[in-house]
Structure 1
Amino acid sequence: MKTGKNKKWMLIILPAAVAMLFGVFAEQMTKGESETSQKESETVERVEIMQEESETNTGKYADTSSYEELDELYKEYFMLGTGCEAIDHWNNQLAEIGNPEKEALISRMYNSITFGNEFKPAYNFDASSETLFTVDFAAEELLDWAKENGVKVRGHVLVWHAQVNPSIFAKDFKAYSGGNLTVSDTDVLDEDCLVSREVLLERLKTYIYGVLE
C-alpha cells in the first residue's frame, strides 16, 4: 500500500517539479537576455556619448604642454609608441590621425606608431597587382603623416586570423560562398573554390614581400 501511495505522490510531484524547473530556467533565460540587451544598449549609448564629446571637444583636451616628453624620457632604453587609426578609414571620430589635438600629442610624446587596422590584408591585398599588394588609402595617410612628423611605423599585421581579403584563398582570386561571389572576410567559402595549401603559401609570400618592398 505504501508503495502504491508513493507512486501516486511521485506522479503528482514529478510533473510539478519539472514544470517548476522549466519555469525557473525560462525565467533565467529571459533575465539573461534582458540583461544582455540592456548591456548592449548601455554600450551603444556610451559610444554615442563619447562620439558626441569627441565631436564637440575641440580645444577642450587636457593641457599636456608641461608634461615631460615620454620618448625623450626613455630614449636611452627603448622606442616608445602608440596605436592609432585614421579618422578617414571608417569615419571614426574617436581615431587619432585627422584630429589635430591628438596628432600633436602623438608627435610630441612618441617616436613610433602602430596602425590599428590599416595595414591588415583585408584592406591592402590586391589580386590585380603583381605583388598582390596595393597600399590602402588610409594606410597611406598614416604613412604620410608619420613621414612628415619623423615618427617610425610598425606595421600591423602581415598575416592575421581575420580581416583577410577572401580572394587570396580562391582559385582565380574569385571567392564563392554559397555559390555566390563574395568579398566579405567573414563569409565561409565554398570548398571547391579554394586553392591548395602550396598555392596559398606562395601567395602569402608574394604579398608579404610586396608589403616589405
Structure 2
Amino acid sequence: MKASIKDVVRRGHLGALSAVVLGAVVVTVLPGCGDSNIFVLQPLASKPSTITIEDSGEKAAYIPSTTETIKWGRLPNATDVPLVTITSGSVVVFDTLSHEGLLEDQGRNPADYFGSHDVEKQYVLDDAIEIAGSSINHDFYKDGPHIVTGPIAIEGAMPGDVLKVEVLNLIPRVPYGVISNRHSKGALPGEFPETPRPSEP
C-alpha cells in the first residue's frame, strides 16, 4: 500500500482562522473546508499493516485508530498486548484521533457534532464515526477523555530502558480543530470552566 503525503495534504492553505465559541468549546475551521482541494486523511487500512512511503520508498509500520487498537480514557500498561513489534530504528505511522465530537457530552456522534459547526460529513474522520458508534466502553464521569492508539513493542527493549523517539512529521488529518475545557478535568480543574457543573448521574 502506498501513502503519498503530497497527494492528501494541500500545503500553504493556512489562511485566517474562523472560530465558533460555544461555552467552553471552540471549534476552529480553516477557510475552504468545502474546497475540493482540501483533503481529509482517512484511515489507510482497518488493522495494523506495512505501508510504503511513496516519497522515499521507505517501509513503515502503520497503526490505524480502531476499536481494536485504541484505549479510551486510559493509557496502555503492562497487561496490554502490543499491536505490533518493531525493530529499533523502524518508522511507524500512527493515525491519531481527538476525543472531541466523540464524547458523551457532545452526543457521541462526530458527524452531528461537527455538522452543527458547519463541517460537512465528508470532512469527519471515518474512524471517529466508527469508534463513537461502537459499543466500546467509556464512562464520561470516571474515565479520561483521550483516545490513545497503541501500544507497540520494540524488539529487545526491556522494562526500565530509555527509548529515543524521533518525530519525523506531524500532519493534521482534518482542516479543523477543537479547544475545550471540562469541569474537574484538564488545566485548572477547580477554576474553569466558569459555567455551572453538570449533575452526574
TM-score by length of 2: 0.24
* Structure with a larger share of its residues in helix: 1
**Larger radius of gyration between Structure 1 and Structure 2:** 1
Larger fraction in strand: 2
Higher RCO (CA 8 Å, separation ≥ 6 residues): 2
